[in-house]
Amino acid sequence: MIRPWAFQSAIKNQQSAINHRYLRHVPHRAARRYIISMSTGTGHAKFRCAQCEMPETSCQCDKFCCLCQTTIDVRICDDGLMYCEPCRNACDYKTSD
């Protein structure tokens, strides 16, 4: 016959042992190295094209606004789609710069 209190007591002992070993502290220098090595992508403020997944400077896709189909002053916004200046202002979309 298994005693429920003995089982619960064993689980509590294991949990407390785990909690005492883990100090929840990562040195600032180690965290910075980890973040830098794990960062990917094009950098802080460059957006990628939704079609070719290239940065705006390397994108070779036909550039036209996805709302009004104009080809004048078209830029890639944060959602990866291309918008002209009037549509960006009307919809409050931001470009990478």
pLDDT band at 43 (very low <50, low <70, confident <90, very high): very low
80 Cβ neighbours under 8 A, 6+ residues apart: 47, 48, 49, 50, 51
**Is residue 55 situated within a structural domain?**
yes
Any domain includes 96: yes
Domain count, the chain: 1
* pTM summary value: 0.54
AA identity, residue 70: T
Rounded distance, CA 69 to CA 48, Å? 19
- Is residue 95 a part of any domain in this protein? yes
In-domain check, residue 35: no
Q: What's the whole-number average pLDDT of the chain?
A: 76
Report yes or no on 79 lying in a domain: yes
